[in-house]
A = this chain, B = another copy of it.
């Protein structure tokens, strides 16, 4: 099992990407291919200890900038570390790919180079987020800002297959993000999507309101990519703000300062439990291969975990499971359509 890493992608590349790769090959049983400027990577690796047979370099002469437009990067950066890393998967030289570089370009490159799975209309990003007990998956977290009901239906199947594989749960609870629990609540998009999901071969538990997302109301939350991105970013921003506000209140109280010192282990534990780094990135589901998009600010721990999840997704053939489930679904749907016509 080999995972290709865009070693030049991310705000702290290549130092942090290389550190994450070293940790991954040291801790886990797969290989990593560092893709990027060979000389630069050799310098970064120099003097470091790691199992040499599990970490190789694949040279690429260019790097994608964080502000580059996807269309331009696709056309002009044919030898970028990102593109070469994705091509390693296409050509069978790697089983999965991870990049913390420009996420728009990574999405476009993965789609363009690997292609969509049969029966998939719109690939989607599946973000893993921390809840009261454990984690949940949010799909689509930002790939598709304008959706049709059929797209949400498809996202549900993709999120289902992904959750099954990563958390070993045979029948994850799938919920639709809406503004009320009743079938009739929602906007035009979610009301139509609700009808499709009700008849889907999934453990669909209905609409769920924003307030119940973090209390473990479901395992997979389905929404369009605009909503998903807003939910993801609002959550990150609010969690940061609450911790900062609490710290500020504490700093202004004398007994609070002592209290804070005593609380530090609990706050550390809380942070660990809600740490996005635990899964290191979000896969683009619905493409013909395994591609994980990590945050530009990823730590080495996030990179290490993204590599781990990438290997696991590939090992469990998540994209094939998606293909099978969507095939069965489209078969059923077309059957129903034929029946309706006759």
Partner of A262, one of B224, B243, B255: B255
Report the Cα distance A230→B258, complex, angstroms.
Answer: 38
Q: CB-CB < 8 A to A213: which residues of B? A: 234, 237-238
Main secondary structure of the interface of A (DSSP, over half): helix
A132 contacts partner chain B, Cβ-Cβ < 8 Å:
yes
Chain A, residues 187-208, CB within 8 Å of chain B (1/0): the string is 1101000000000000000000
Q: CB-CB < 8 A to A245: which residues of B? A: 132, 270, 273-274
A265 contacts partner chain B, Cβ-Cβ < 8 Å:
yes
**A contact residues, range:** 35 or more
A 250-276 contacts with B by CB, 8 A: 250, 252-253, 255-256, 258-263, 265-267, 269-270, 273-274
Residue of B nearest to A274 (CB): B245
A29 contacts partner chain B, Cβ-Cβ < 8 Å:
no
B256 touches A266 (CB 8 A): yes
A234 touches B249 (CB 8 A): no
A183 contacts partner chain B, Cβ-Cβ < 8 Å:
no
Q: CB-CB < 8 A to A242: which residues of B? A: 239, 242-243
Chain A, residues 206-233, CB within 8 Å of chain B (1/0): the string is 0001111111000000001111011111
Interface residue ranges, A against B (CB under 8 Å): 131-132, 142, 145-146, 177, 179, 186-188, 190, 209-215, 224-227, 229-246, 249-250, 252-253, 255-256, 258-263, 265-267, 269-270, 273-274
